[in-house]
Structure 1
Amino acid sequence: MSRKDNGQSSNGKRARADEASVERPSVGSVTLSDVARLAGVGTTTVSRALNHPDQVAQKTLKKVNQAIELTGYVPNQIAGALASRRSHLIAAIIPSISNTVYAETIKHFSKILRDSGYQVLLGETDYLEDQEETLVRTVLSRKPDGIFFIGINHTAICRRQLLVANIPVVETWDLTKTPLDMVVGFSHEEVGKAIAEYLLEKKISRVGSIWALDHRAQLRRKGFLETLAFHGINSKYVCDVSVPTNFGQGREGLTRLINEGFNGGAVVCSSDTIAHGVLAEAQTRGLRVPEEMAVTGFGDQTFAPFTNPSLTTVKFDRELIGRRAAEVLLARINDEKIEEYIIDVGFEIIERKST
């Protein structure tokens, strides 16, 4: 029969302390012993109250919790992780915290993990592989139970560190036949091909484009330009912009294309934010969209249906990526069978009035 801890020490005597005489420590970190002394119980009882509260008498549990609240004690999770081999920490490494397109994925990824007893530590690479390498090294020293990435490109050193660490890893927002462990996303090169084919179906052959200088946008650019070239179209009006993208880059990008000789057809943009800027610049110049110039974006952000005119764009399920990434990561952590290590969530072109 199980027996609840009532706070008595091993010699049968309650380890009482005069609560009035115990003061909150003024220097140094609060320890488990400080909490035990204030609560009038042994350290084993405090440990059990933290890890298995159902095994501690309610009266004793109340005293321990009051002592924890009074002292501000924070349990040493690293020590617990060493004992259990679980840190209940998941690292999420993303290119930018200022780019809102990633927020929905992270939100749904984090919720599933929180509901499963894990906390998510967020790290930003600023689109730099060297920064990611440094961040991964730091994160691995904290012994996370798993790592989530947006993106599949890593330095050779980073890949080696992750493989040696031998922990579950899920890469997202892209596809590869050779993931580090698991990948949940879609093909950016196929997105580029689909946009080109969409414009060709509309008999639009004069095209300018504005692309962010990040790996995924450049894959879309590659698929787009190669598809046009396959159909005998040489699109020389191409503009690259830095990341993260912003509204002003769309206005400046269209200005550059026009200065280089572009005078109508379609402008393909690597993000909805850039496309929004292009629409604004076109309006300022008196260019009618889509009659004189069609515009496409990427991402189907919340403002896309409400631009003037509404923006044709590429939609993919950011929520689904977050949920599936969390599910497969948890399955790997728990040594459950995984049916798919490469998960393609697909995409679709949402046609609106800008084309």
Structure 2
Amino acid sequence: MARGPSNRSAPIKITDVAAAAGVAPMTVSRVLNTPDRVSPETTARVRAAIERLGYVPNLIAGGLSSRKSRMVAAIVPTIAHPMFAGLVQAFTDSMRQAGYQVMLSICGYHDPDDEGLFRALLGRRPDALLITGSSYSPAALQMLIEAHIPVVEIWDVSSRPIDMMLGFGHAQVGAEVAAFFHAKEHDRCAVLVADDSRAVSRARGFVEGVAKAGGTLVREMIVPAPSTISAGREGLRSLLPDLGERCALFCGSDLMAFGVVTEARIQGVAVPDRLAVCGFGNFELAAQCDPAITTVSLEGVETGRSAATMLLRRLAGEEPRDADRMQVPFSIIERATT
């Protein structure tokens, strides 16, 4: 879906909804708060106007809507992952130092009601938003555009970001890992990822990269999100019959890779001689594991700080600039598992 205009005019008000629906503002208020007091026909007309305009009711007590809340909202899929935990901590620390509090929302990996999530958060009138990802339903996208507040989308790339963007191409990561394995003369490869859109995109890039290099994909395994150590152990047990004499495995996270390496030791599979392993995220346990795990490194903590810097510049009144839409660099750190 094409993104809306980038100009940030005044937010939609209840009077705008009333005018669009041809009713009084009090009627709009009743539809929102006591719909049983309004006829079904009028309710349908008002709700159609609300959806069309992207109006979000103000849930803050009356009189506060014209003031700055000094609060920003951050939406991430999980904080159980070291990758997101470090990012959130760095973002929160930076915003707090500037006098802002962070309201954190954990959205998971498969939230079908992004509209409800954004409506609930925007109803608290945050001054800005940090969002993990860049895929929304049409109604949620319209809501974000009409909020007219600074928004930074992280951990993904989009050809039409809502406002600011700080991400990387997940498919490109997968392709780079495939090229890395090919350079080390691996022609039999497998991939193990959790079922979230970004990890699946990395897997897709890896599969295409293996095919481009003329290699053979032994197995593509997608397990329920989030990625875990136990999923890595189970994944290797499943892969064992197809392992052959030599295979290279790309894991969706370092947690999975740690589970794979642990299970390989139990099963007597030599790493890296028979099984080469690459993780994703550069978690501390990847470096401290024995053998230390090759991984894809991204600066999650620095991403949190950079996202805060972007938002703070805009909250201070600075105009948008090209540097507000950038890709985060990544690199493969080779260690003992390859």
Query: Are residues 1:293 and 2:275 paired?
Result: yes
Aligned residue in 1 for 2:293: 311
Matches within 5 A, 1:204-353: 204-260=186-242, 264-339=246-321, 340-353=323-336
Q: Is the 8 A contact 2:227 2:253 kept in 1?
A: yes
Structure 2 unaligned residues grouped into runs of 5+: 1-59
Larger relative contact order (C-alpha < 8 A, sep ≥ 6)?
2
Q: How many residues are aligned here?
A: 279
Distance in 2, Cα, partners of 1:184 & 1:261: 38
Shift of 1:83: 4.1
1:5-34 CA distance string (max 9 Å, x none): xxxxxxxxxxxxxxxxxxxxxxxxxxxxxx
Q: 1:314 to 1:216 in 2, by over 3 A?
A: same
State whether structure 2 residue 102 is matched by structure 1 residue 128. no
After TM superposition, the structure 1 = structure 2 runs for residues 74-153 of structure 1, keeping only pairs within 5 Å, are 78=61, 81-84=64-67, 86-153=68-135
Relative to 1, partners in 2 of residues 1:330 and 1:292: Cα closer, same or farther, differing over 3 Å? same
CA distance in 2, matches of 1:89, 1:276: 38
Task: Tell me the amino acid that sits aligned with residue 324 of structure 1.
Answer: S
Structure 1 residue matching 2:276: 3-state secondary structure: strand
SS in structure 1 of the partner of residue 284 of structure 2: coil
- Residue type at the aligned position of 2:337: S
- Residue pair 1:238, 1:257 contacting (<8 A) in 2 also: no
For residues 316 and 159 of structure 2, the distance between their equivalents in structure 1, rounded to whole angstroms, comes to: 24
**8 Å contact from structure 1 (residues 239, 256) kept in 2:** no
Asked if the contact 1:267–1:294 (Cα under 8 Å) also holds between the matched residues in 2, the reply is yes
| TM-score between the two structures when normalised by the length of structure 2 | 0.79
- TM superposition shift of 1:78: 4.7
Task: Verify the 8 A CA contact 2:189 2:210 in the aligned structure 1.
Answer: no
Give 3-state SS (helix, strand or coil) of 1:304's partner. Answer: helix
- Rounded Cα–Cα distance in structure 2 between residues aligned with 1:353 and 1:325: 33
User: 2: CA distance between counterparts of 1:166 and 1:177?
Assistant: 20
Q: Quote the offset at 1:148 in angstroms.
A: 0.5
Q: What TM-score, normalized by structure 1, do the two folds share?
A: 0.75
CA distances 1:65-90 after superposition (whole Å, capped 9, x unpaired)? xxxxxxxxxxxx85564343x11110
Per the alignment, do residues 264 and 258 of structure 1 end up closer, same or farther by CA in structure 2, a change over 3 Å counting?
A: same
Specify which of 160, 163, 172 is matched with residue 154 of structure 2: 172
What amino acid maps onto 1:132 in structure 2? D
Distance (Å, rounded) in 2 between the aligned partners of 1:104 and 1:78: 33
Paired-residue identity, %: 36
Q: Highest Rg: 1 or 2? A: 1
Tell me: CA distance 1:280–1:117, structure 2 relative to 1, closer, same or farther (3 Å).
same
Given the superposition, is the C-alpha separation of residues 218 and 141 from structure 1 closer, same or farther in structure 2, using an over 3 Å criterion? same
Unaligned runs of 5+ in 1: 1-76
Distance 1:118 1:81, change over 3 A: farther
Off by >4 Å, runs of 4+ in structure 1: 77-80, 260-263
